Amino acid sequence: MINNVLMIIIGFALLVFGADMLVKGASNIAKKFHIPEMLIGLTIVAIGTSAPELIITITSTQSSSTDLIIGNAIGSNLCNLLLILGLMAIIRPVKIDKEARNFHIPMAFLASLVILLMGLGILGNSTQYINQMEGFFLIILFVVYFSYPIVKEFEDIVNSYKKEKLERKNLSNKNSRKKKINIPLSLLLIVVGVLLLKYGGDFVVDSATNIALYFNIPERVIGLTVVAIGTALPELVTSIFAVIRKDTDLAVGNLVGSCVLNLFLILGIGAMITPLEFTPDFIQNLILLCSMTFVLWLFNFMGKRDTITRPKGLVLLGVFALYMFSLFVY
């Protein structure tokens, strides 16, 4: 029992360090080849911080722990919207920018609604399973979602590249004195990061499953709590530091964008490997996720506009506490 707890802690540590190495290595290579920073943020950073959830999904399908896949995706989203965003607002009121209000938050609500309708059998194959075809459809939605900002800002990306190229030409002497990016080291960071994510995912899934069996706790509960909070650690650390640095716009976009990624990409990949069954308990959690995503959008028009104030943050944390309590009581 104690060994399983230690393995979960070690697994979470590997997931966090692995995600950090993966993001650093990939970002260095992108900068080396002068890929615009916006494109890096929309791809490498977003996927890198959600890498733990992806690894957990792949590992869980191999051990037939499909409840962990669904529980992890839903639980991570609730952690992002309730726990992490609530903590950010307590530390400092969080400003919601126009793009997050008008695009990312509504898309997060749409993503949770699509999964809910699929789980109810209203959308798709009229069963409580998400099959391979529906999983492929979810992955297509993910590609569309993450392509939209790139297409929308394509002109800015091109202009940014031209500006960087001109600066490199005009300031070649100055740039030569800057610290050079070590490509072999960056590749090593990527490889080590992937390995840490792989073994960290194995440790978390195997140990969480053993604990669930030992205490006769459903895998659904373990996925919605321990695994979900653990895989949300990269977003938690990133967001807290962003608030401290007074740079919350990117953090909010990443949090909400991560919610879309978890539902469309993570569940899509899981369903492509093995059908995912949505039990009534998961449906209840999806209803909560849809409701709180809609409430988050409404917060933009309540009280101080486009701001998650401390009272609103307390509401989010209160709902999260009640949610955690309900999982173990009922």
- Compute the distance between CA of residue 254 and CA of residue 88 in angstroms, rounded to an integer: 13
> What's the pLDDT score for residue 123?
84
Just give the CATH number of 2-329.
1.20.1420.30
> What's the pLDDT score for residue 49?
66
Q: CB–CB of 204/232 below 8 Å? A: no
- Contacts of residue 134, defined as CB under 8 A and 6 or more positions apart, other chains included, come to 118, 124, 125, 271
150 phi and psi, to 5 degrees? -70, -45
Count other Cβ atoms within 10 Å, centred on residue 196.
Answer: 23
- Contacts of residue 309, defined as CB under 8 A and 6 or more positions apart, other chains included, come to 89, 93, 303
**Confidence label for 99 from pLDDT (cuts 50, 70 and 90):** confident
What are the angstrom distances between the C-alpha of 15 and each of 6, 204, 211, 215?
Answer: 14, 9, 19, 25
Answer yes or no: pTM beyond 0.85: no
pLDDT at 43 over 70: no
- Contacts of residue 32, defined as CB under 8 A and 6 or more positions apart, other chains included, come to 181, 183, 186
End-to-end CA distance of the chain: 24
Mean pLDDT of the chain: 81
pLDDT at 41 over 60: no
- Compute the distance between CA of residue 141 and CA of residue 133 in angstroms, rounded to an integer: 13
Per mean pLDDT, which range of 57-61, 307-311, 322-326 is the poorest?
Answer: 57-61
**Which comes out higher in pLDDT, residue 316 or 46?**
316
- Compute the distance between CA of residue 74 and CA of residue 258 in angstroms, rounded to an integer: 11
* Residue corresponding to tokens 């401290």: 244
Residue 107 C-beta-side C-alpha neighbours within 13 Å:
26
Do the strands 129-130 and 94-95 form a parallel or antiparallel pair, or are they unpaired? unpaired
> What's the pLDDT score for residue 176?
46
> What's the pLDDT score for residue 218?
80
The pLDDT of 157-168, averaged and rounded, is 62
Per mean pLDDT, which range of 6-15, 147-156, 171-180 is the poorest?
Answer: 171-180
> What's the pLDDT score for residue 66?
79
- Compute the distance between CA of residue 126 and CA of residue 36 in angstroms, rounded to an integer: 43
DSSP codes, 166-216: HHHHHTHHHHHTSPPP-HHHHHHHHHHHHHHHHHHHHHHHHHHHHHHHHHT
Domain ranges of the chain: 2-329
